[in-house]
Amino acid sequence: MGLKLESKCVRCRRLNTKLFLKGERCLTNKCALERRRVPVISERRMSQYARQLREKQKLRFKYGVTETQFRRYYERAEKMKGITGEELLRLLERRLDNVIFRLGFCASRAQARQLVVHGHFMVNDRKVKSPSYLVKEGDVIELNKRSRKLEVIKQNLQSSSGRAVPAWLERDDKLLKGKVLRFPEREELDQEVDVSLIVEYYSR
C-alpha cells in the first residue's frame, strides 16, 4: 500500500465518520472525532461528485485497501447476481484481515494485516499470508501454535471481550479459533456508508 503521510484521525474528521483506524482508542473519549465534531468540509458546500467520492473513500479507508484493489472489488461485485453495492460490502467483509478484526483477535484491521503478513494466522490448517484472502463458508481461522502466546493477542482478546462477534462468525476463546458460519446478511453489512453513491461514482 502507498505511503500515508497524513494522520489517521484527520481522515476520520475529513469524512466526518469513525473509520476505527486506531482500534480501541476510537471507542473512547480520546477519539479525535469525539473531541472535535466540526467536519473539515461543510456538507452544504459539497457537490454530488464530492459526496460520491466521500462515500467511496470512507469504505476504502475503513478496510484499508488501495484504489486499484477497491476498483477490482467493485468490478467483481458488478458481475455477481445480487445488488452491486451489497455484494461489494460482502466482499470487503470476507477479507481475512477484516474477519480477524471482527473476531476480536486484533484491535484494528491494520494490526490484523500486519499479523497475517507475518504468518501468525492459519485458515483450515494452512498458513495464509495474504490479508486480502477471501474466506468461504465453513473456513476455520486460528492462530498458529507459536503465536498463541503473543501478549498482544491476549490483550486484544481481553479488550474485545465486551464487543459482540457478528452472528455470521463464531469464536472459540479456549482454542483461539474462529469459524465462518455463513456470509453476512444485508442487515449485517455496514449501514453507515451509502453504497448507492459508490455505484453512481463508478457508473459515471
**99 pLDDT tier (thresholds 50, 70, 90):** very high
pLDDT of residue 8: 58
For residues 110 and 130, what is the distance between their CA atoms, to the nearest angstrom? 13
Q: How many CB atoms lie within 10 A of CB 43?
A: 10
Shared domain check, 39 and 67: no
pLDDT(32) > 60: no
**19 pLDDT tier (thresholds 50, 70, 90):** low
For residue 135, is it within any domain? yes
Shared domain check, 170 and 99: yes
pLDDT in tens, 136-190: 999 999 999 888 888 888 888 888 777 789 999 999 988 889 999 999 999 999 8
pLDDT-wise least confident of 6-15, 66-75, 114-123, 188-197: 6-15
What is the percent of the chain with per-residue pLDDT over 90, rounded to a whole number? Answer: 61
User: Has this prediction a pTM greater than 0.85?
Assistant: no
**Pairing status of strand 121-123 against strand 177-180:** unpaired
Radius of gyration of the chain (CA): 17
pLDDT-wise least confident of 15-19, 158-162, 199-203: 15-19
For residues 116-139, average pLDDT: 96
Beta bridge partners of 142: 122, 177
Shared domain check, 167 and 135: yes
Shared domain check, 145 and 101: yes
φ, ψ (nearest 5 deg) of residue 133 = -55, 130
For residues 7 and 72, what is the distance between their CA atoms, to the nearest angstrom? 26
Shared domain check, 172 and 154: yes
Length of the chain: 204
pLDDT(25) > 80: no
**Pairing status of strand 140-143 against strand 126-127:** unpaired
pLDDT in tens, 70-84: 999 999 999 999 999
pLDDT(1) > 60: no
Grid cell, residue 134, equals 477471501
CB of 94 within 8 A of CB of 183? yes
Shared domain check, 89 and 78: yes
Shared domain check, 35 and 8: yes
Show the domain range for 201.
48-93+190-204
Half-sphere exposure of 155 (CA within 13 A, CB side): 8
Number of domains in the chain: 3
The beta-strand segments (E) located in 1-96 are none
The CATH number for 12's domain is 1.10.1050.10
pLDDT of residue 3: 43
Shared domain check, 100 and 54: no
- Cβ-Cβ contacts under 8 Å for 113 (sequence gap 6 or more): 64, 97, 131
Q: In this structure, what DSSP letter does residue 185 have?
A: P
**204 pLDDT tier (thresholds 50, 70, 90):** confident
For residue 185, is it within any domain? no
C-alpha distances in Å from residue 37, one per residue of 2, 21, 60 = 28, 17, 22
**33 pLDDT tier (thresholds 50, 70, 90):** low
For residue 196, is it within any domain? yes
Shared domain check, 176 and 116: yes
Tell me the average pLDDT of the chain. Answer: 85
Shared domain check, 104 and 35: no
Shared domain check, 118 and 77: no
> 165-188: string of b/e by CB count within 10 Å (b at 16+)?
eeebbebeeeebbbbbeebbeeee
The CATH number for 123's domain is 3.10.290.10
pLDDT of residue 159: 82
Shared domain check, 154 and 100: yes
